[in-house]
Amino acid sequence: MKLYDYVLSPSCYKVRLMAALTGVTLDIRPVDFHPGVEHRGPELMALNPAGSIPILEDGDLVLTESSAMLVYLAAKAAPQWLGNDTAGQAARVQQWLSFSHRLTASLGAARLHEMLLRPGNIAVLQGQGTAALRELEAGLVEQQIRGQRFLASDRPTIADVACFPYVALAPDGGVSLDPYPAIRLWSRAIRAIDGFIEMPGIHRLHELKPEPVPEVGEA
């Protein structure tokens, strides 16, 4: 199974993370995303006409969307990560997978603007990212009320892996995680999963602070 990968891409990282958590070995094919723009070259455009990475190859199968890659890896190696125990749980997983694309479009775009000088209205992108974080915080607080630490269940699923990288890297786009105790607790819970691997550049500042206290039940 080959992953066309850029080590500083959060979308690529979530696939590497999912593989590590499920015990899948990937053949990593580094891509010169920046500054070489190799993902727009003829070899990779033939695999993915959208000109984006990651790309996952497994025999004749070629996947070009990171959420589909998470589903594929989990289905092949660790189906419990799919969160299909109940209809409600399966629906929550799908809802957060869809939500993860909003994180990419807002927090991810703000990060690219600040780090690689990609065009975009940074104030708008940061505002959209902040709105997404507030929604994520509210969802996690609801889960805390249910006695669950993760997005769709009392155990991690592909939904958590899909959302984690762009949230963890939000400060690169000028969006602070300080106002979101439930998100910070969730991030710690993800880091504590057996098999978790790091990505270069992910901030660990909140790991050095006292554990935030959730405000569940407060008016």
pLDDT, position 176: 95
Which residue stretches of 4-121 are H helix?
A: 10-22, 42-47, 66-77, 87-103, 109-116
pLDDT, position 219: 33
d(CA 149, CA 217) in angstroms, rounded, equals 16
pLDDT, position 162: 98
Q: Taking the chain (219 residues) in consecutive chunks of 10 residues, what is each chunk's mean pLDDT?
A: 95 97 97 88 93 96 97 97 94 97 96 90 97 98 95 97 96 94 96 92 59 51
pLDDT, position 116: 84
Residue 138 is encoded by which pair of tokens? Answer: 């509210």
Please answer whether residues 137 and 183 qualify as being in contact, where contact means their C-beta atoms are separated by less than 8 angstroms. Answer: yes
Tokens 């190859």, located at residue: 57
pLDDT, position 187: 95
pLDDT, position 218: 40
pLDDT, position 207: 56
3-state DSSP helix/strand/coil % of the chain, to nearest 5: 55, 5, 35
Is domain 2-80 in CATH 3.40.30.10, yes or no? yes
pLDDT, position 171: 93
d(CA 158, CA 215) in angstroms, rounded, equals 26
d(CA 99, CA 95) in angstroms, rounded, equals 6
- Our CA angle for 86, 91, 95, nearest 5°, is 150
Which residue stretches of the chain are H helix?
A: 10-22, 42-47, 66-77, 87-103, 109-116, 122-145, 158-168, 181-191
| CATH numeric code, 83-208 | 1.20.1050.10
pLDDT, position 54: 97
Domain residue ranges of the chain, discontinuous segments joined by +: 2-80, 83-208
pLDDT, position 217: 46
pLDDT, position 216: 47
Residue 148 is encoded by which pair of tokens? Answer: 């669950």
Q: Which helix (H) or strand (E) holds 36?
A: none
